[in-house]
Amino acid sequence: MLDNFLAGINIAHPSVMIPLVASTGFLDGIHPCAIAILIFFIAFLLTMQKTFRNIFALGLVYIFVIFLTYLAVGVGLLSGIVIFGQHHFFAILGSWLLIAMGAIQFKDYFFPRLPVHLSMPKISSERIKSRLEKATLPSIAAAAFLVGLCSIPCSGGIYAAITALLASKATYLSGFLYLMLYNLMFVMPLLILLLFAANPLTLANIAKFRQKNERTEKLAMGLLMMLIGGGILMFFI
């Protein structure tokens, strides 16, 4: 009965793809790497007694460059899969990669001292923060570009799985448009967080909450990543 129901669903139809792409993009956007860096950046600007207008403008530059960088990575991956031609293989590979990355997050909850973690390289994090502390447009753009690239180890499995799925189920043009939607949803949590800069106390409480619940966040993200990877394998491929 379930097989008959699934057989009647057009996976490539926008009514299916749009909710899938939008929800996974938003989920990818709440990963700790980019959010933690943005909180640091806003806090630093507040210590410099920058106005909310200045903080919001500089924050938008940061978020926009991350959007462009992440989009470029997705377009490059989509183009590579299309050129290579093995769409179905890469969709399966991306799903299993997502499951593996979810398992690592799951591991970090129960055995945080074991090696292999999904995190931004320490040297990259320090370099990014040093650029942000200059608080100039070129330094912020350069830092955001590094964040976009270096955040891929954090949760890039979701992006890889969705991009591979798009390559197998959509045309190149529609795949590009879906990637635009994905990345708009990806930066949405950052935009929401930026609005909280109007109230420094709220921002501080968010930072404390995330630090206090970091392990629980990894558990939840790990479970969701494994469920998404398994769901793609079962229902979309």
Does residue 199 form part of some domain? yes
Does residue 4 form part of some domain? no
Q: Is the pTM of this model over 0.75?
A: yes
pLDDT at 4: 47
pLDDT at 121: 67
d(C-alpha 78, C-alpha 94), whole Å:
12
Give residue-wise pLDDT tens across range 73-116.
999 999 998 888 777 888 888 889 889 988 988 888 888 888 87
pLDDT at 21: 93
Does residue 191 form part of some domain? yes
Does residue 10 form part of some domain? no
Number of Cβ within a 10 Å radius of residue 185: 18
Does residue 1 form part of some domain? no
CB 46 within 8 A of CB 200: yes
pLDDT at 197: 77
| Amino acid sitting at position 186 | F
| Amino acid sitting at position 53 | R
Does residue 115 form part of some domain? yes
Residues in the chain with pLDDT < 50? Answer: 1-9
| Paired tokens of 14 | 């926008």
Q: State the total domains in the chain.
A: 1
Domain that holds residue 60: 25-236
d(C-alpha 82, C-alpha 174), whole Å:
13
Q: How many residues does the chain have?
A: 237
